[in-house]
Amino acid sequence: MRDQDGWYSGVPAHVFLRRRERVLEELGDGAMILPAAPILYRSRDSQLPYRPDSELFYLTGFTEPEALLVLRGFADEERALLFVRPRDPAAEQWSGSRLGPERARERFGVDAAHPIGELDDRLPKLLAHARRIHFRLGRRRSVENLVIQALEEARSRGSRKGRGPRSVVDPGEILDEMRLRKGPEEIAALREAVRVTVEGFRAALTAAGPGRGEWQLQAELEAAFRREGAQGPAFATIVGSGTNACTLHYVDNSDELGPGDLVLLDAGAEVRMYAGDITRTFPVGGTFSPAQRAVYEVVEEARAAAVQAVRPGVTVRDVHDAAVRILTEGLMELGVLSGSVDELIGRKAHRRYFPHRTSHWLGLDTHDPGDYIRDGEHRRLEAGMVLTVEPGLYFVPASAQEPDGAPEADHPYEGIGVRIEDDVLVTSDGAEVLSRALPTEADEIVEMVGGQGFIQ
């Protein structure tokens, strides 16, 4: 792994400091504990590539495992502390250099840093005067036991001393809200993640052709991600050809591309911890069949309408509704649904063909946190929020339907799956499509695949 200033560069230390100060203010008389992500094993003693915890990264920029941040809003001193792995030349020869407590304190501007081995001894004392502890339960049993210890001590001594923790709150209660509104450094990282994602798509699209494998498109895409400086994919790449496009989280990528197939490619590069997330659907042979094109045009129109709806003051629900209206009208034009459009929307008739939502927040996590509904109200978009717009239509083949499900209507779309996904930044007066460099219009997509004139 490169130095801390390498992969995760571009964000000055004062940005993390400012974020911590804001959390400390919001904590009031509470404390927050954020452990590093665990080291995960893929089999026996082979580790999965380490992915730092998004929340700990958001507040420190620190990316080593076996670390923990303590924030103490109630305290006059030692308000921000880090526990980190101690220097250890022998261990560092195996798994790379460690910053160690002294350098971690200097570099990350925390008030104190200690070896992680001192956590059991120090943490209960550090929490003794917090009224609330912001900590995610059910994740890290060893740290959770220390939180429970602090709560139990407060319960037994609290009535005499009148202080101590009484409740545990999820850190997301504070952090999710902050992370919803992206700062300039975050938007810069997202732009780069989307740029690299677009490069990956270009590589994969130009490599497509009959007889090639879904896995080969994945290889081209992910090679471009690494070549362009991404850490790798932000989530498992989906290359679904033919009916595989109807499986929303298809990740086997093990089929050959048939000459008449569409391919649904959904992927995102992770750059400096931030995720891109784009989907394009294109014909393997460079030509849409009439049925494929008809479905594609409906989804593309829904994408454009939903993107058009994004601006400050509207809700994610409004964006979804804009897509659903076009998809429903389109399903009627395709002859799949019939009736009145409002009645069909009212009973969510689209759901059989569009079973997911149109948008999710995008950031350090592909599905970034943040409540879509707050205090019973749909949240209104604000400048600085970043969301995906990803309508789709999926005509699951009859053979894959529930045995007791309604028989598939008589239409020529069976087995077709189309999704088109863009990443959108809410601006002060509208929206900026971060992924606009990658065309969505059917003819432009065909041109990218390089297959105009291809006769099937």
- Residue 327 sits at φ, ψ, to 5 deg, of -65, -40
CB of 27 to ligand GLY, least distance (A): 32
Active site residue 111: no
**Element containing residue 168 per DSSP (H, E):** strand 167-169
User: Taking a C-beta distance cutoff of 8 angstroms, is the pair 419, 391 a contact?
Assistant: yes
Give the Cβ contact number of residue 108 at 10 Å: 22
Residue 398 tokens read as: 């009859």
Q: How far is CA 284 from the centre of its chain?
A: 28
CA geometry: angle 167, 170, 174, nearest 5 deg: 110
Window 393 to 422, contacts with ligand GLY (CB under 6 A): 421
Neighbours of 240 (CB within 10 A): 28
**Is the CB of 235 or the CB of 372 nearer to ligand GLY?**
235
Tokens found for residue 27? 């904590």
Catalytic residue among 352, 360, 368, 422: 360
x-or-dash pattern for Mn ion, window 404-433, by CB under 5 A? Answer: -----------------x------------
Q: Which of 192, 390, 422, 423 contacts ligand GLY by CB under 6 A?
A: 390
Strands (E), 199-249: 232-233, 238-241
Binding partner of 235, given ligand GLY, Mn ion, none, CB within 5-8 angstroms per partner class: ligand GLY
**In the complex, what is the shortest distance from the CB of residue 318 to ligand GLY, in angstroms, rounded to a whole number?**
19
Q: How far is the CB of 390 from ligand GLY (least distance, A)?
A: 6
Q: Are 306 and 389 in contact (CB under 8 A)?
A: yes
372 binds ligand GLY (CB under 6 A): no
How many CB atoms neighbour CB 100 within 10 A? 17
**Strands, sheet with 386-389, edge to edge from the N-terminal-most edge strand:** 386-389, 422-427, 430-433
Query: Any catalytic annotation for residue 45?
Result: yes
Is residue 222 within the footprint of ligand GLY (CB under 6 A)? no
CA atoms of 282 and 268, how far apart (whole Å): 17
Which residue in the set 7, 50, 235, 372 belongs to the binding site for ligand GLY (CB under 6 A)? 235
Binding residues among 350-409 for Mn ion as defined by CB under 5 A = 388
Does the annotation mark 423 as catalytic? no
- Is 66 a binder of Mn ion (CB under 5 A)? no
Minimum Å gap between C-beta 196 and ligand GLY is 16
Partner whose binding site includes residue 53, from ligand GLY, Mn ion, none (CB under 5 to 8 Å by kind): none
Instruction: Assess contact for 376 and 401: CB atoms under 8 A.
Output: no
Nearest distance in Å: CB 39, ligand GLY: 25
User: Is the dihedral angle over the CA atoms 39, 121, 20, 372 positive or is it negative?
Assistant: positive
Asked if 353 is an active-site residue, the reply is no
- The 275-294 contact track toward ligand GLY, x by CB under 6 A, reads --x-----------------
Q: CB of 179: closest distance to ligand GLY in angstroms? A: 17
Helices (H), 310-431: 316-333, 341-346
Q: Which does 241 bind (CB under 5 to 8 A by kind): Mn ion, ligand GLY, none?
A: none
Ranges assigned E (strand) in 198-324: 232-233, 238-241, 262-267, 269-271, 274-275, 278-283
Q: How far is the CB of 362 from Mn ion (least distance, A)?
A: 7
Give yes or no for residue 197 binding Mn ion (CB under 5 A): no
Instruction: Identify the residue among 192, 199, 277, 422 touching Mn ion (CB under 5 A).
Output: 277
DSSP annotation of 243: G
Nearer residue to ligand GLY within complex by CB, 186 or 422: 422
Interaction of residue 266 with Mn ion, rule CB under 5 A = yes
> Is 220 a binder of Mn ion (CB under 5 A)?
no
Backbone angles phi, psi at 405, to 5 degrees: -70, 165
| Residue 419: active-site member | yes
Q: Which is nearer to Mn ion, 53 or 266 (CB)?
A: 266
User: Which is it for strands 80-84 and 112-115: parallel, antiparallel or unpaired?
Assistant: parallel
Per CB under 6 A, does 192 bind ligand GLY? Answer: no
Q: Is 261 a catalytic residue?
A: no
Q: Least Å distance between CB 217 and ligand GLY?
A: 15
| Residue 215 binds ligand GLY (CB under 6 A) | no
Distance CA 222, CA 230 (A): 9
214 versus 421: smaller Cβ distance to ligand GLY? 421
Active site annotation includes 270 = no
120-135 burial by CB neighbour count: b if 16+ within 10 A, else e? eebbbebbbbbbbbbb
CA–CA separation, 114 vs 177, rounded Å?
29
Residues that bind ligand GLY (CB under 6 A): 235, 266, 277, 360, 366, 390, 421
Residues forming the active site: 45, 249, 266, 277, 356, 360, 367, 390, 394, 419, 421
